[in-house]
Amino acid sequence: MPDYMLVYIVVFLAVAFDYINGFHDTANAIATSVSTRALKPQHAIFMAAGLNFLGALFSTGVAKTIGGDIVKAASLVNQEVIIAALVGAIAWNLLTWWYGIPSSSSHALIGGIMGAVIVGSGWETLNYTGIEKIVLSLVLSPIIALVSGYIIMVLLLWIFGRFAPMALNSGFRRMQLLSASLMAFSHGSNDAQKAMGIITLALLSAGQIPSLEVPTWVKLICATAMGMGTAAGGWKIIKTMGTKIFKLEPINGFAADLNSSLIIFSATFLHLPVSTTHVVSGSIMGVGAAKRVKAVHWSVAQQMVYAWFLTIPLSGLTSAIVYKLLHIF
């Protein structure tokens, strides 16, 4: 098959990944505001879709990290490798969405790339320094979110704890409009860039662009796909995130969203990809633990941790199998 046709396939799959990422991770932006009834579900989804689109246009630093830090050089990666990586990531995302498990699209993509690269080009093609930086940011971000979520919640309870519950709920329900908006924008600013990085890597390896700079049309189609995917919703994961980890009240939802958006914005400015799913989950656990440790459903958290650890190897295995099948057929 001609190289330009393979590039078209890469673009299609990357846009599909972004779309699936949108409805898979919708819960990150709106689960807390929906579960506390600060926003009606449909209103929350369309708000998140618009802000995800705008956030996706915000920066390209994360895209360059994804495109340039996993392999030593774009010339070492062919289009079949990228296609296999995207298929592996998409398959894992759809599987975890079907079972309502809030796993990480970021982990799935990183695992998919690594699995396909290893089978297609060998272990020596991997940029271990770059991978170490990416994996470290993915691992540390939920831990930081848990600790900082706990601290923010303690501060809010210390400041507002004497208010009557009805007044407190009413005030923070309105404040959740702001925190949910920040969360949606930050989600777009980090997550959409991962697909941008993959497309840019494919264009560079095919010799269609001179350097690892994200073209404007790539930004627009990835932002659009993320926004449309968010508009489609992901109700199974919304239910898990909003109700099964910890019973959220408006002040808890505000604290979790504010904490998550600050961490994701920080990662975006540092050009680091993080899992928004992991960050939000960590924030909810930290906020819940600040109220009462036993109030957090740690068994649900344990299931998520298993999914987190399995995502990279299983998506990598899937992409490796897809790469082999591409060469058989």
Q: What is the pLDDT of residue 262?
A: 94
Sign of the alpha-carbon torsion through 279, 233, 13, 187: negative
Residue for token digits 């290893």?
118
Q: Give the contacts of 167 (CB within 8 A, at least 6 positions apart).
A: none
Query: Whats the size of the chain, residue-wise?
Result: 329
Q: What is the pLDDT of residue 232?
A: 74
Residue 219 Cα distances to 9, 88, 208, 286, 324, angstroms: 17, 23, 16, 34, 31
3-state secondary structure of 71: strand
What would the pLDDT profile of 261-316 be if each residue is shown by its tens digit? 999 999 998 888 888 878 888 888 898 888 777 767 677 667 667 777 788 888 89
Q: Give the contacts of 232 (CB within 8 A, at least 6 positions apart).
A: 19, 22, 23, 26
Q: Which of 102, 104, 108, 103 is nearest to 235 (CA)?
A: 102
- Residue 195 φ/ψ region, left for φ over 0, alpha for ψ in the -120 to 50 degree band, beta for the rest: alpha
Both structure tokens of 130: 């770059």
Does the pLDDT of residue 242 top 70, yes or no?
no
Q: Is the separation of the CB atoms in 110 and 133 below 8 Å?
A: no
Model pTM?
Answer: 0.84
Can you name the residues that pair with 126 across neighbouring β-strands? 71
- Rounded to whole angstroms, the Cα distance separating 300 from 107 reads 19
Q: Is the separation of the CB atoms in 223 and 18 below 8 Å?
A: no
- How many domains, the chain? 1
- What average pLDDT does the chain have? 83
- Rounded to whole angstroms, the Cα distance separating 226 from 267 reads 19
Both structure tokens of 118: 């290893």
What would the pLDDT profile of 77-105 be if each residue is shown by its tens digit? 788 888 998 998 888 888 877 776 666 77
Task: Tell me, letter by letter, the H, E, C secondary structure of 143-161.
Answer: HHHHHHHHHHHHHHHHHHC
- Per the structure, the complete domain to which residue 107 belongs is given by 3-328
Sign of the alpha-carbon torsion through 231, 234, 235, 239: negative
- Rounded to whole angstroms, the Cα distance separating 129 from 138 reads 14
Give the alpha-carbon dihedral of 145, 149, 150, 152, to 10 degrees. Answer: 140
What would the pLDDT profile of 104-160 be if each residue is shown by its tens digit? 777 888 888 899 889 988 888 889 898 888 888 888 898 999 999 999 999 998 998
Q: Which of 282, 270, 93 is nearest to 195 (CA)?
A: 93
Q: What is the pLDDT of residue 263?
A: 94
Q: What is the pLDDT of residue 93?
A: 80
Residue type, 174: R
Q: Is the separation of the CB atoms in 101 and 305 below 8 Å?
A: no
- Rounded to whole angstroms, the Cα distance separating 286 from 152 reads 9
